[in-house]
Structures are given as C-alpha cells and as structure tokens.
DNA sequence: ACATCAATTCGATATCTATCTATATTCGTA
DNA sequence: TACGAATATAGATAGATATCGAATTGATGT
C-alpha cells in the first residue's frame, strides 16, 4: 500500500465517507454557494463547513472563487470521474501487486524473508511462486519425505506449514503419494 | 439525507474508506483466501480481519464459502459497479432534493411512519401516494423481484402487503409481468 | 464424548476526526 | 486608518471505530 495511487484512492474515500461532505457536494452540484449559505443549509457552524470544504478542495472535488470576502465554492465533477476510474476490480488488484523488473525476484525475496524466516506468505500468486521455489530448495532432490518431516522443514521458515505444503503440491513443485512427498 | 439510497452510498464509502479493507479487497481480487491467510498477509489478528470481512459482507463486497472450519472469502465485483452507479453528479444532486422538498410530504411521512414501520395505510388518495412513493424506494431500480420477495419487503413495513402491492401497481409505481415485479 | 483448530463474538482501549468556541486574517468601506 | 463582515485557523472535546486478547462457537478427527 505504498503505491501512490492507492493512497490517493484511500484519501478520496475517506473524504467522501462523511454525511456532511456528501451533502455539501449535493448542494454544490446544483449551484455554487458561499460558506455561510452552506452552513445555514446544513445547520452547521461556519468553521465546520470551512473545514469540510478544505478537505474537499485538497482533492479538487470543489473549487473556490472569491468575491471580496465571500468565497463561492463550486463542484468539480472531473474528480468524481477520476475516483470512478480508480474504483475498478483491476485497479484494486494492483493495490497489492508491485511492478515487475529484472531484480524483481530478488526484491520479493528481500521483502518477504528475514534471514531464513518467511515473514509472511505473499498474497499475489506471482510473488508466492517465487517464495515457493525458494522453499523447494530446502528439500533434497530424489529424497522421499514423510509428511511430518515436510511440516518440520517448512515449519523452520513459517508457522503455517499446512498452507505452504498445499501450495507446493498445487503449484507442481512437489508431489505426493500415500503420504510421502518428494521434490520434482 | 433521509433518502435510503443516500444512506447506502454513505455506508459503502465508510466501509471502503479503510486501508485494511481496501487491501483485503485487493488480495481477494486475485484469489479467494481464508481469514488466517489474510491475517498473516496484513499482519493483523484474526478477529480484526473477521471484523473487516463482516463489514464488507454486509454490503456484499465479499462472499464466503465454508470448507470445514476454514472460511474462504471471495470478492464480488458487482457491488463495486453498484457503487459506481451511485457516484455520479446526478445522484449526488438528488441527495439534497428532498431537503427543500415539500414540507407537507414530510409531515405525512412523520404522521404515518414510526421508524420504518407504517402505522396505517392513509385513506386519502393523496397521502397514500406519498406513502407508496416512500415504499417504492425500498426497491432497487432495474431489479426484478418475484412476488414472494415483494411481499417480504413490503411486509417489513406493514402486515397488509397484498393491498399495498396492488396499490403500487395501480398507481404505476411498479409494474408486473408473469409474477415478476419491478420498479418504474 | 473429547481434543483441536479456525472463525467469530465480546469487552476494553487507543486513535482519529467532526464539531464546537475563540481567535486571527483578509477585504471592503466609511 | 479603523471598523465590520466573511473565512480561515487553533485548540478542545466528544463520538466513532480499528485493533487487540480472551472467551465462545462450530466442525473434524481420534
């Protein structure tokens, strides 16, 4: 969640997830209005409305036009469209997937390993595969392991050995027959 | 902001405006996952993840499939599309339409409603129409409902669902064809 | 029946923020 | 220059909620 766009999405949602601010936007879609007008309509004090407008403005959901001391605010629909574009399943999935590169695999290992300890199981299928390949190297080729030993070996690196063991099989990195495991 | 759809919009935004929940959705777009897996990846405790999943589930942003004791959650994109449809300037402007709306209609609603319960069906045609419009808002636009569900939804507000259902049709607020009902 | 493990529910706590009052700033005008 | 009016900022408070550990529920296998 260090991705910039994700943070913007989160900010958008936080700003919009407030009844007063939604109502302000609703009023401003019809016509521009001053802080005082809005306060009267919403039955809030001017500083409160000012605070909300400030937050809306940082995301360009509203814009301001000053006429003397009176500040007229208007709604800016483009920003809503921007939010809509960010609110697709595809964009959401990228929240947790990083960009790929040449050093990508090593970066994954750096990120998820602390020494020989797997800090967490990557959620993205691609990264998980990198970790699983690394884990496979902990087993000798052409050696048959009983399940207890498989658990023990995986368990040296992460407590959730059951999930990892299933993933190793599921991804074709190891095989099982009658409770005996071996590396491919 | 008494409008039902506005409240749903607000709920959507509140549920999504949280980093952990966004990350959960991001993970679930790639693959379904158990509570434990999610907790490991997010570095949160299981009860916390459970709490988030519950909130996501109330808005049908995720769905659950149980396999023994393990609960696998998956992402439901349709709900996001629903949110997108609500996040247009036109819909936002309707948030406040009823604020300046007819004082009389609100009085009728106050008089005949006790919370979400319809105390009695108004005898006057004009007042009945106000109630029926309110009742129509309990149905989603563009959704087809079987008669049993129509009865169930109306029944939440008044026992005499048969009369009210007939009135909704008679006043052109809903339509029926082959036992299937939809909102106009 | 009993033990175990995943998930949920419960109760407590700490953080966040919407809202308020009080104060400061900015601009038009007498 | 000084005053009044409209906003903005600062600081305080109250309500909401994300998170946790502990206890409970529910399913599975011995």
Residue A80 CA to residue A36 CA, distance in Å, equals: 25
Q: What is the pLDDT of residue B106?
A: 65
SS3 B70: strand
Please name each of the domains of chain A with its CATH number: 4-86 (1.10.10.10), 104-183 (no CATH)
Segment (H or E) for B63: strand B62-67
Distance (Å) from the alpha carbon of B3 to chain A's nearest alpha carbon: 12
> Which residues on chain A place their C-beta less than 8 Å from a C-beta of chain B?
1, 6, 9-10, 13-14, 16-17, 19, 22-23, 25-27, 29-30, 41, 75, 77, 80, 83-84, 87-90, 92-97, 120-125, 160, 163
What integer best gives the mean pLDDT of chain B?
A: 85
Nearest nt (C1') to A54 (CA)?
A: D8
| Structure token pair of residue B176 | 């029926």
Structure confidence at residue B44 as a pLDDT band (50, 70, 90): very high
Residue A155 CA to residue A161 CA, distance in Å, equals: 5
**Mean pLDDT across the stretch B113-134?**
78
pLDDT digits (tens, 9 = 90+) for B49-92: 999 999 999 999 999 999 999 999 999 999 999 999 999 988 88
SS3 B43: coil
pLDDT digits (tens, 9 = 90+) for B87-107: 998 888 877 654 444 556 666
Closest Cα to residue B55, out of B94, B101, B18? Answer: B18
| Structure token pair of residue A13 | 């949602």
Q: Cβ separation of A87 and B94 shorter than 8 Å?
A: no
Instruction: Show residues of chain B in contact with A97, CB under 8 Å.
Output: 30
Q: Cβ separation of B14 and A17 shorter than 8 Å?
A: yes
Q: Which residues pair with A146 in a beta bridge?
A: A180
pLDDT digits (tens, 9 = 90+) for A103-129: 466 667 777 876 667 888 888 887 888
Structure confidence at residue A100 as a pLDDT band (50, 70, 90): very low
SS3 B31: coil
The rounded Cα B69 to chain-centroid distance in angstroms is: 30
Of chain A, the percentage scoring pLDDT greater than 90 comes to 41
Question: Which of A40, A95, A108 is most worth mutating to test chain B (most B CB atoms within 10 A of its CB)?
Answer: A95
Residue A99 CA to residue B126 CA, distance in Å, equals: 61
Q: Cβ separation of A23 and B95 shorter than 8 Å?
A: yes
| Structure token pair of residue A53 | 């407008």
Look up residue B183 and give its DSSP letter.
E
Tell me how long chain A is: 184
- Asked if the Cβ of residue B138 lies within 7 A of any atom of strand C, the reply is no
Q: Cβ separation of A17 and B19 shorter than 8 Å?
A: no
Q: Write the secondary structure of chain A as one string of H (helix), E (strand) and C (coil).
A: CCCHHHHHHHHHHHHHCCHHHHHHHHHHHHCCEEHHHHHHHHCCCHHHHHHHHHHHHHCCCEEEEEECCEEEEEECHHHHHHHHHHCCHHHHHHCCCCCCCCCHHHHHHHHHEECCEECCCCCCHHHHHHHHHHHHCCCCCCCCEEHHHHHHHHHCCCCCHHHHHHHHHHCCCEEEECCEEEEC
Q: Which long-range contacts (CB under 8 A, 24 or more apart) does A68-71 make?
A: A70/A34, A70/A36, A71/A34, A71/A35
Q: Cβ separation of B22 and A92 shorter than 8 Å?
A: yes
């Amino acid at each position: 969640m260090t991705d910039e766009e994700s943070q913007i999405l989160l900010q958008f949602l936080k700003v919009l997830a407030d009844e007063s601010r939604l109502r302000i936007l609703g009023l401003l879609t019809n016509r521009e209005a001053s802080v005082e007008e809005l306060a009267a309509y919403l039955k809030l004090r001017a500083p409160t409305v000012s605070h909300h407008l400030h937050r809306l403005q940082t995301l360009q959901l509203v814009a301001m036009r000053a006429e003397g001391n009176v500040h007229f605010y208007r709604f800016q629909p483009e920003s809503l469209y921007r939010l809509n574009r960010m609110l697709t399943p595809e964009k959401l999935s990228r929240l947790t997937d990083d960009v790929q590169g040449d050093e990508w695999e090593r970066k994954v290992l750096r990120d998820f390993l602390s020494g020989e300890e797997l800090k967490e199981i990557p959620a993205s299928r691609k990264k998980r595969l990198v970790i699983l390949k690394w884990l496979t190297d902990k087993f000798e080729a052409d050696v048959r392991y009983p399940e207890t030993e498989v658990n023990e070996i995986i368990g040296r690196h992460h407590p959730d050995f059951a999930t990892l063991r299933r993933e190793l099989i599921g991804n074709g990195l190891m095989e099982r027959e009658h409770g005996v495991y071996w590396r491919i």
